[in-house]
Amino acid sequence: MERTFKLVLEGHLKPIHPITTYSFDQIPSSFAFMRSGRHIGKIVISNKDASNVQVPVRPPPKTVFLESEASYVIVGGLKGLCGSLAIYLAKHGAKNILAMSRSGCSDERSLKVIMNCNALGCEVQEAAVDITSYSDVAKAFRSAKYPIKGIIQGAMVLKVSELGEC
């Protein structure tokens, strides 16, 4: 710090210029100016001499509310992104998730997701089905504990080409 103060006192370090100042009620304009990529220096938000400044505030983002007496289907099992989605649904009120995949949910990663969902008060039903089979899907839908109110399609198959690339 001593060296920094010495450099400032000797004039080697100077404040950044130019400084573009916006008032609190111009915050959206200041962000637009910054996003434009045309500014140089610093952008400062200041109330200047105003003692009573009204700053517009955006309302908080809408929260997801899920029905507790509904089933939510996740196609693609509970690994990876689908597992994270299952926990998200459970945190936001889902009490029953129907997890559909060809391999089922007996692997370690899926079991951890099920445990987390259960801890949040959400039951996870497993449906080991081929999503391309109408009869399998219809049977799984009929097995749902509650009426199905939402479906997330997360199933995918990655095939390796002859060159060994995905």
Q: Which fold has domain 71-153?
A: Rossmann fold (3.40.50)
The terminus-to-terminus CA distance of the chain in angstroms comes to: 53
Provide the percentage of residues in the chain whose pLDDT is more than 90. 51
Phi, psi dihedrals of residue 23, rounded to the nearest 5°: -85, 170
Higher pLDDT, 94 or 164: 94
Among 22-36, 71-85, 110-124, the minimum mean pLDDT is found in 22-36
Q: What is the pTM of this model?
A: 0.60
Higher pLDDT, 165 or 48: 48
Residue type, 36: S
Please give the pLDDT value at position 41: 87
Domain boundaries, the chain: 2-46, 71-153
